[in-house]
Structure formats: C-alpha cells, structure tokens
Structure 1
Amino acid sequence: MSLTNASQKVVGPDPKAGLLTQRERIASTTQSQESWNTFKTWMWTCISKHSQCSPKSLEVRQRQLPKRLIEVSEGNTVRLRTVESIGDAYAIEYLALSHCWGLGPRVILTSSSAASLFEGVEIAALCRTFQDAIMVTKRFWDEFAVRYLWIDSLCIIQDSAEDWRQESANMGEIYQNAFCTLAATAAADGHRGFFSDRDPRMISPCSISVVPKNGENRPFYCVDYEDWAKNVSRGPLNGRSWVLQERLLSPRVLHFGADQLYWECSGLEASEAFPAGFPEGLGEQFKQLLPFSGLPQIEQQGPSSRGPYGIWDQVMETYSSGKLSRRTDRLVALSGIARKLQRRLIQHDTYLAGLWKQDLPFELLWDVKIPPQKPDAGHEYIAPTWSWASRLATVPCETETWASAATLVDITGAMVVPLDNDHMGQVRGGYIRLSGVLARGTLSRIHQPGSPTPGLALKIGDRTVSSAICRPDDGFSPAIQLPHVVYCLPILRGTRNLVPRYKGLFLVPSGRQAQFRRYGTFTADSFGDEFLVSCPPSWLDTGDLGPDRRYEVTIV
C-alpha cells in the first residue's frame, strides 16, 4: 500500500454507493452507467486531445482491414460480413477483442459453419466473453457510431491454414486499425466474461487524515501501489505472447479488470479509481515504448544507448516470457511490431527471424532466462539456432557492460527462408555467415558450493579459463550430455576494471564443413590470447583458415 498526497487529483466512485448484489452489467445498472460515463470521458479526451493516438491521414488511406467483421444489430443475433460487402473500407470503424481462448469458444468460424454465421447466430449461443463484447459494441454503436467487431475465432477460418496465414500476417494491422480494443484482461478463458460482482466502494481510494508536527491537518489517500501491475500487467490475458502486439499496437485499450475498468492509450493510463490518470509511479507507461502515432522518445545519451534496437530488446524480452498455444506462432505473433518498427525507426535494416541485421553482433548474444531441465521435445522447426525465437523465455544481451564494446566479427552474409510470402512471419530455414576467431575448447561439469546444480568449466587447449561464465541454452542438468568439443566465437570485447572482457557464442559442429549450431554464450576476462588467436584448422569442422587468421563460418 502507498500514501498519496491529496493534492494530486484523485477521484473515485461515490463511497456511499451500496454493494452490487447481482452481476454487474454495463447495459442495465446505475453503477455501470457511472463506469460507462467514465469510459466515455477517456475516449472523447483521447479522440479530441491526443494527437499521438490518432492515425495520420496517409495511414488511414493505406490501412489494411481484416477480411471479415461481425455486424452488431439491435436484436438478439449477430452476423458475419465480409468487408467488401459493407462499403467504403476507409470509413469502416470497428472494435477488436483481445482475449484468452482457454478451452476454446463454443462457436468458431470453420468451412462448415461459415454459411450459418453469415446468415446470423444467436448471441446466447456464444461464450460469455463474446456476449459481453457484443453488448459493449452496442453501446459503442449508440455513442460513437461503431457497430462492427472483430474476434479472431469468428473472423478467421479456423480449419483453413491458408486463411489463417493470411490473416495472422495482418494481425498487427487489424489491432492498429481498430477504433478501440476491448481487453478481457481478468479472464483466463471465454467463460468468465468482462464483468464481475463488486462493491464499488472498494475501488475508491481511502482518505486518511495526517496531522504533522506543525499541526496542519492534511488528507492523504491510501492506495494499492501495485494496482496496475496486478490487475493489468500481470492479469491472465497479458500472460499470452499474442497479446503484446495486440496491446502495444492498438490505439486505445479498454481493460476489463477484476473489479474495475482500466484505460490505456499513448496519452493516458487511468482507472475508475483514478479516472484523471495515475499519480506518478503507479502506472506502467507501457505504450510509450512504441506510441501509436509518432515516434518514441529515444534516449541518445550515455554509452548504453542503443536507440531503436534498445526498444526491440525490451519488446523481445517481454514477448518471449509469454505463453503460446502453438510454438509455430513464435515469430508470427510478433510480426506486427516488427513491421511498425521497420516503417518508423529501422527503415533501412533487414529483419532476420526476430533479429535485425545491422545489430547482429549485439543481438546474437541473447541468453535463456531459465534453462530447461531437459532438451525441448518439440519437433516443429521454429527458427535457426542463432535466433532467440528458437528458445523460450530469452533475454537480450545486457546493455550496460557491452553497448560500447568493440566488435570482433564481420557479418558476411545472412538470410532466412520464409514459410510463405511473409518475410516477418514463420520461417523454414536460415543462416548467418560471419568471419571471426574460433577457439576450440571443451566443457566439463564442476561442483558449485551451495548449489544443487553443477556449473561448467571452459578449457581452451590445455588452459582452463577460470573466469569464464558459461550459459548453455539447454541448461546445466546432469541428464544433458555435454558436447565433445565446443568452439568459442568471441563477438564483443570490452573492459572491466582495466581487464579485457569477452562475450561470445559457443558453437558446436553441425556435421557439414564450416557449419555450426549455437550451443550457448560465454563471458570471460582474459589478458591472454585465448580469444584473439584462432585454433588450428579442423577440416571437417572449421574449413580453411583465412589469410587474416580468421575463419568464415556459417551458423544455422
């Protein structure tokens, strides 16, 4: 809990309002009308005052819309419509739903159900979350003249791989072009819906009178400092990887939390308890990472600044910690953010399976946050081993130590092979070719005092690199067999306390000449030449040593 000075404008629901004894419905109760009025204020403020939350005229003319939308009417049914059948695509406004599938909705769009959905479906036949989304859309129709709704499972043909690939590639545009996104933030599945029983007094900050030594009576508010984090950032919905771009790219998001509404746009974070905005330190400023319209404020001061690539680091780390129902969605569910960054900030760079070519020496040095206890049993190809997308819960290279380090490799070639025409979506192959020093070594397990997990020692030639910190992507479990040989590829060289420090990749041979797979990363201090002089050629592994005493190797 935290005490907030009352001089900050904090307005809550009427503390005299009674306990709601029935399920709160925006459509019917007095208290719900108060919630709706609060939301209308947020929306009209955003539309009229937040230039950073509105698309530019050029973007409106060029915007891509989904193939299908749900048309909401006054009756008890809704129907699916194609955008072409509606009329002027540039004038169409629609809402988008962000939700957790859970066990799956009862009604979905398939090849066999399409005809009945285009004819019309009873609202009561849909899951609770869909029913609530439709009810809210009706209120939008009355207030903002928005009568269309996009729901993934009702607007994408679920048994058509082709339709799913086309629409999933457009997913970022779908949310970016929505008038507003309705987020079922507190719902782990479609059965909970948007709303819940609540005592409206519980969301009103508690006023406490504090009498300091000077005798002046000053009121303070007692508020939950973790409110936004618990009910939005860590809500059930935001544990899904797909939701990152849904939330980040949408111009505005209305979160239906556990006991109140939350608002999020590039200009405001608010709740019913704090309708004018959260006091400093209580919100998240999540959408400032990539404002809907306009560019983020990129700090250019200090050696740790990485400009737009620093933004990508934050996106990647947040995204990779989320959950996906299908591993093959790993790159697809991030493609919308990658497209926006390329359009706005990294126009002249090439996107390579989750990494950017001009920043490869730095971005290749990601680590696995929590190594698995056993190798990943998945058989689907997700990404090349050098891409963080090939692993779960990855983190970027630490900025403070290495952002100003010298680069020890040259990128001589890079390519990914997309599964279809979407070069930012799913891939079926790829490689990076680079020139650098290769040091041949071995890894062995060592006891770590006070830890049940053994550590790893690195030996290059007959010399043990005592300072080496080894981070294998597959983890440290004794059940995992260590490779017979590893090759150290130093990529960055910095200093710590005037001692040279190296960070690079562990590589293992793939079985083809001069071709390797990533095994992990290492960090080591060294005054010696372990990471400056290439090992003698091993024809099957390394190929020929170049005249510059470096190898050109390919990582797949």
Structure 2
Amino acid sequence: MMHLVYSSSVCNIAASAADGPHESLFRDRDQKHIEAGMVEASFFSMDNVKRAHVVTERNYCERQLRGPLNHRGWVMQERFLAPRVLYFGSDQVVWECLTENASEVFPLGRPGSSPVKRINALWNFVGPQPAAGTASMSDELLSAWTSVIKEYASCELTYPTDKIFAMTGVAQVFAEISGDVFVAGMWKTRMASMFDWWITEGGLMNPTPATRLAKPVAPSFSWASVDGLLVLFRQSGYEDLLETLEVIMPSDNQLASLRMRGRLFIMARNSRFAPCPGKVQTEPEYILSSSLQGDWGTDCEVPAPHTRFIAWDTNGDVPSDDEVVIVLSRRKLPQHLSGIFLVRCSSDEAEHKYRRVGYADIRCDDDQFEKLLEVEPTDFIWI
C-alpha cells in the first residue's frame, strides 16, 4: 500500500545530501559554487553577440540529484510516485513536480528534467482501469517503465534480495493503469520487447564489475537477475523474432520461467580473433556456424553472419568452451539483428532448457537473414 501513501502526499521533503537520519537538511555553502557561467557568443556575426548561461544539462541535473539519499534503491518509488519533491542538496534546494523543475539558480525552471518524473504516459491513461491481466502495456507506458528501471538499476540496496520488492509500489501503478501483469521486473504481454538488455560495467555509480546475486531473485531473462549498470531494450521499429508461448508464474521456491519458440544457432568462436586493447578489431569474435538442428551452416553459398558487439551479463558468464548457443531476438532494417546468448541447463540433449549469459548485435544482410528464416523454430524453456 506504500504506493498509495507516496502518490497521495502533498509534498515530499528529501534530505538529498544527508548520509544518515541524524544529519540536517541545511548545509554550509558558497553561493559562487552554484552560479551558472555566463558567456558572450555569436553564431554568424559579431554584430549579433548574445549573452547566455552555459550549463551541461546532464552534469547539472546529476549533480543536484545524485546525493547519498538518491543512491538508495528504496527511495526510487518515493521519487517516482510523489507528485512534488523538495530536495535539500549539498549546495542548493531543488524543486521537482509533474509540470516544473526548478532550483535556486534557475527559479523559473532548470534545464532538463529528471527521467524519474517523465511519466506523462501514466497520466494520459488515468480513467477507467482495465481488469488485471486483460490488457497489454502500450509502447508509451513501456518506454516510461524502462526510463524508471534504468535509473533504478544504478541505485544501491543494502539487501540485494530486495531488488524486485523495492520497485513493487511503482509496478503496482503501471499494473493498475495498463491491466498487465508484473513478472520478475518485466511485463507479461511485452516480454519479447524486453529481452534486449545488457550490462555496461564501470561508471560513476557502479565502478565494480556486474555480478549475479548469490540468491537469485529473478530468472536469467530478467534485467533484475544481474547487479550492474543497465542499458535497456530498444523500442520502436523492431520486429520481434522470439515468441513467448507461456509465462510460467513463480511458485514456492521456484522463479518464473518462460516457454519460448525461437531460432537457435550455434555460435563458434573465430580462431582468427585476437583481443588487442586499444586497437580496432577487424575480426568478429563469434561466427554463426550452424542451427541447432544442423540444417544450416557455413557451407552455404551465403556467408555466415557474425557478431559485431557482445555484452556478457557478468565476467563469470563468459563461456569457457568454443561454442555457445544464441537465439535470434529482434530485427530492425536494414542490417540490425540482435540475439541472446544462452547456455544449456541440462545434460539431457532432449531437454531444451537454457539460461541467459549475454547479449549480442549480429551483422546480417538481407540474404543472410532470409537464409536464417529457413530454419525451423525450436521450443525451449528459459529459466
């Protein structure tokens, strides 16, 4: 019910710069440190010189909102759901609501706005609510959800096992508006649109490599299964190549799983690939060698597609053997094809049960793609 508490509040006051509950809202500060720089410049003629403030939108907004408080994952639902928030930062006070973002330096509106408050899609759908499980999440709502998740993934949790629970309040709002069902950080009717995530290591908030949680809280197909900085699924213009046949909901001591249908291929490591830091790679690391059924291979007249970008979910997920399975995920013309790296979870060859270990972009022209489509899809279980 906490989502009702925050969304029904008049205004939340946030001690953004405080490291703990015993610190004050107010800080000693030098006003000069927050003044925006002023320059004189002209685009085309020295006769038309204008004065303007110079502010880098991203750096400015991050500096104001990236205090210790906003590093905490549980605070995300407060920031997102509260209609108005007054942030007491380290050097100025910042105001954020659904219609305006202002600060002491920019009282009439500061440049840019926090992604957390870009929720116009939610307000556009306020009205009669569909019954749970009877509707599909729109592209607009899904885009709003991914913006929140990207911000949330950079936060920290005292207990990593809270990763799903800490977003439950926000998820309830999306579920009530869309009628969709929340499953392991994703949405039941939009699973195929949410598989193309990957982890990027490093960065201000997360300088350590990504890791999988010791006690899994989400299946491998979910972004919530990995602790690290997140690059999220692409939205418009993509054709889904994976079909979700059934969402197997979580039960006692069992995470959710999916019964899928897609084209599975064996990716063979390229023997000519030699990693060399600081140099442009001319050889792909993996080449699509054959389908799982053996009815397509590199002996075809059409050259085999190959990877042009690989992002393993964690360092521990990099396969040690020479081959790894990939399932085609999405395609966007003219030559963009994405795939998900999978490893088999069972020694039984007849049991197609896999878990995710990474993401890849595949270089693939029209002739190659048409050849790939000749391969019959395989049904498999994704855990």
Q: TM-score range by the shorter chain?
A: 0.7 to 0.9
* Structure-2 residue corresponding to 1:393: 229
Residues 504 and 192 of structure 1: CA distance in aligned 2, closer, same or farther (over 3 Å): same
Measured against aligned partners, the alpha-carbon deviations of 1:88-146 in whole angstroms (never above 9, x if no partner) come to xxxxxxxxxxxxxxxxxxxxxxxxxxxxxxxxxxxxxxxxxxxxxxxxxxxxxxxxxxx
Matches within 5 A, 1:184-263: 184-199=15-30, 228-263=60-95
Q: Residues 487, 533 of structure 1: CA spacing in aligned structure 2 closer, same or farther, 3 A cutoff?
A: farther
Q: Which amino acid aligns with 2:256?
A: G
Q: How does 1:148-547 map to 2 (within 5 A)?
A: 170-199=1-30, 228-278=60-110, 282-284=111-113, 286=115, 288-290=117-119, 294-295=123-124, 306-344=139-177, 346-347=178-179, 349-370=180-201, 376=211, 378-391=213-226, 392-399=228-235, 403-417=236-250, 428-443=254-269, 446-451=273-278, 456-461=285-290, 463=298, 465-475=305-315, 480-483=318-321, 485-496=323-334, 499=335, 501-511=336-346, 513-526=351-364, 527-528=367-368, 531-534=372-375
Q: Residue 283 of structure 1: CA displacement? A: 3.5
Larger deviation, residues 249-258 vs 268-277: 268-277
Q: Give me the whole-angstrom Cα distance separating, in 2, the residues matched to 1:209 and 1:385.
A: 53
Change (3 A) 1:224 1:488: closer
User: CA 1:181–1:453 in structure 2 vs 1: closer, same or farther (change >3 Å)?
Assistant: farther
Against the structure 1 CA distance between its residues 375 and 259, is the aligned structure 2 distance closer, same or farther, given a 3 Å change threshold? closer
Residues 1:530 and 1:475: Cα distance change in structure 2 (over 3 Å): farther
Cα-to-partner distance string for 1:414-440 (whole Å, 9 max, x where unaligned): 033167xxxxxxx85110111122223
What is the aligned partner in structure 2 of residue 91 from structure 1?
none
State TM-score, norm by structure 1: 0.54
How far does the alpha carbon of each residue in 1:377-404 deviate from its partner, in whole angstroms, 9 at most, with x for none? 64212100000100122221234xxx32
- Give the stretch that moved more between structures: 361-370 or 390-399: 390-399
| C-alpha separation in 2, matches of 1:215 and 1:311 | 41
- Shift in CA distance, 186/375, structure 1 to aligned 2, threshold 3 Å: closer
Q: What residue is the counterpart of 2:134 in the other structure?
A: none
- Partner of 1:325, secondary structure, is coil
- Whether the 8 Å CA contact 2:201–2:209 is kept in 1: the answer is no
1-structure distance, mates of 2:241, 2:342: 16
Instruction: Specify the structure having the higher radius of gyration (Cα).
Output: 1
Given that 1:408 and 1:436 are in contact with CA atoms closer than 8 Å, whether structure 2 keeps it comes out as yes
Indicate how the Cα distance of structure 1 residues 418 and 335 shifts in structure 2: closer, same or farther if over 3 A, else same.
Answer: farther
Distance 1:415 1:251, change over 3 A: same
| 1:474-510 Cα shifts (integer Å, max 9, x gaps) | 2499xx54245422211223322xx4x4222121111
Are the aligned partners of 2:39 and 2:54 in contact in 1 as well (CA < 8 Å)?
A: no
Distance 1:277 1:553 in 2: 52
Relative to 1, partners in 2 of residues 1:428 and 1:261: Cα closer, same or farther, differing over 3 Å? farther
Q: TM-score of the superposition, structure 2-length normalised?
A: 0.76
Query: Which one-letter code corresponds to 2:14 in the other structure?
Result: A
For 2:121 and 2:105, the matched residues in 1 are separated by 25
Gaps of 5+ in 2: 127-137, 291-296, 299-303
Out of 171-180 and 432-441, give the one that drifted further: 171-180
| Alignment size in residue pairs | 344
Structure 1 regions of 5+ residues with no counterpart?
1-169, 298-304, 420-426, 535-548
2-side partners of 1:215 and 1:430: how far apart? 63
| Alignment partner, residue 90 of structure 1 | none
What one-letter code is carried by the residue in structure 2 that aligns with 1:237? Answer: L
Q: Aligned with 1:531: secondary structure?
A: helix
Alpha-carbon contact 1:367-1:395 (below 8 Å) kept = yes
Q: Could you say if the C-alpha distance between residues 193 and 530 of structure 1 is closer, same or farther in structure 2, counting changes exceeding 3 Å?
A: farther
Structure 2 distance, partners of 1:242, 1:266, is 20
How far did residue 198 of structure 1 move? 3.1
Q: Distance in 2 between matches of 1:375 and 1:186?
A: 26
Could you tell me which amino acid in structure 2 is paired with residue 523 of structure 1?
Answer: D
| Aligned equivalent of 1:545 | none
Distance 1:441 1:254, change over 3 A: same
SS of 1:368's partner is strand
Give the superposed CA RMSD.
3.7
1:522 Cα deviation from its structure 2 partner: 2.2
